[in-house]
Amino acid sequence: MADKVADAMLTAADKAPVTSDRKIRSDLDNKLPKPYMARAVTAPDTDNPNGTFGHKHHSMSVLQQHVAFFDQDNNGIIFPWETFKGCRDIGFNPVASFFVMVYAHLAMSYVTLPTWLPSPFFPIYIENIHKAKHGSDSATYDTEGRFIPSNLENIFSKYGRTVPDKLTFKELWHMTDATRNAFDFFGWIAGKFEWLALYLLAKDSEGFLSKESVRRCFDGSLFEYCAKMQRGDAGKKD
């Protein structure tokens, strides 16, 4: 009986070496209540069990919060020119901002529209942003746009080998390879593009992407902070 109980808690299988190579944390319950439970409006981790301090969720899902920064007039609809301005506000150059704008609106506009008719303005409707979730991702958002803390922690326990709770570019690339679903060509490209953009935006002076930056990207507070930094309001932290 004791052996069966012990087996039930194993996180690695001898005949599946990948389960030993990509370790997951087994102590999350000690640091974060119910880490497996999807959170609708906050993005907590073991260091921030209540989510981002001072960040207002406005009753939006975490995925909706992730994109809400780019809704410049707060009307629930993001137009391409708003995405371009938002990218410029957080520090991307005009060329990078243009590519982000084109990718985002080509990929997300039609699936979030409230009708079957396409729009020539390529708007993204925040209410329906969960419909734009693609495969081959980290599964930190669920299909309704909630945030799953354990999946964020697993990114770093599995792939962060050099420094705990940080990723090098090589580790990030490995992670996006490892999370691919078979024959999901769009998801493969989208995952690479999104994580590369985040790495360029938030890497530190030593070339690491921290778990805190990733977590704050998920709830959108990273964009607010980067915009403050660009305006010279570095002292006015969230």
The amino acid occupying position 82 is E
Instruction: Please report the pLDDT score of residue 19 as a whole number.
Output: 94
Instruction: Please report the pLDDT score of residue 8 as a whole number.
Output: 84
Instruction: Please report the pLDDT score of residue 169 as a whole number.
Output: 98
pLDDT tens, position by position, 11-30: 999 999 999 999 998 889 99
Grade residue 67 by pLDDT with cuts at 50, 70 and 90: very high
The amino acid occupying position 130 is H
- For 45-72, what is the mean pLDDT? 97
Q: What value does the CA radius of gyration of the chain take, rounded to a whole number of Å? A: 19
Instruction: Please report the pLDDT score of residue 178 as a whole number.
Output: 98
What is the reported pTM? 0.94
pLDDT tens, position by position, 71-121: 999 999 999 999 999 999 999 999 999 999 999 999 999 999 999 999 999
pLDDT tens, position by position, 207-235: 999 999 999 999 999 999 999 999 987 55
**pLDDT of residue 2 exceeding 80:** no
Instruction: Please report the pLDDT score of residue 5 as a whole number.
Output: 53
Q: What is the DSSP string of the chain?
A: -HHHHHHHT---BTTBHHHHHS---S-HHHHSSSTTSPBSS----SS-TT-STT---TT--HHHHHHHTT-TT-SSEE-HHHHHHHHHHHT--HHHHHHHHHHHHHHHHHHH-SSSS--TT--EEGGGGGGG--SSS---B-TTS-B-HHHHHHHHHHH--SSTTEE-HHHHHHHHHHTPPTT-HHHHHHHHHHHHHHHHHH--TTS-EEHHHHHHHHTSHHHHHHHHHHHT-TT---
Residue 60's φ and ψ, nearest 5 degrees, are: -95, 155
Query: In 184-213, which positions are buried (b, 16+ CB within 10 angstroms) versus exposed (e)?
Result: eeebbebbbbbbebbbebbbeeeebbbbbb
Instruction: Please report the pLDDT score of residue 238 as a whole number.
Output: 45
CB of 171 closer than 8 Å to CB of 93: no
Instruction: Please report the pLDDT score of residue 7 as a whole number.
Output: 82
C-alpha angle 70/209/37, rounded to 5°? 70
Q: Closest Cα to residue 153, out of 100, 218, 105?
A: 218
CA distance 27 to 30: 6
pLDDT tens, position by position, 146-178: 999 999 999 999 999 999 999 999 999 999 999
Q: Closest Cα to residue 216, out of 21, 66, 83?
A: 66
Domain boundaries along the sequence of the chain: 61-132, 149-238
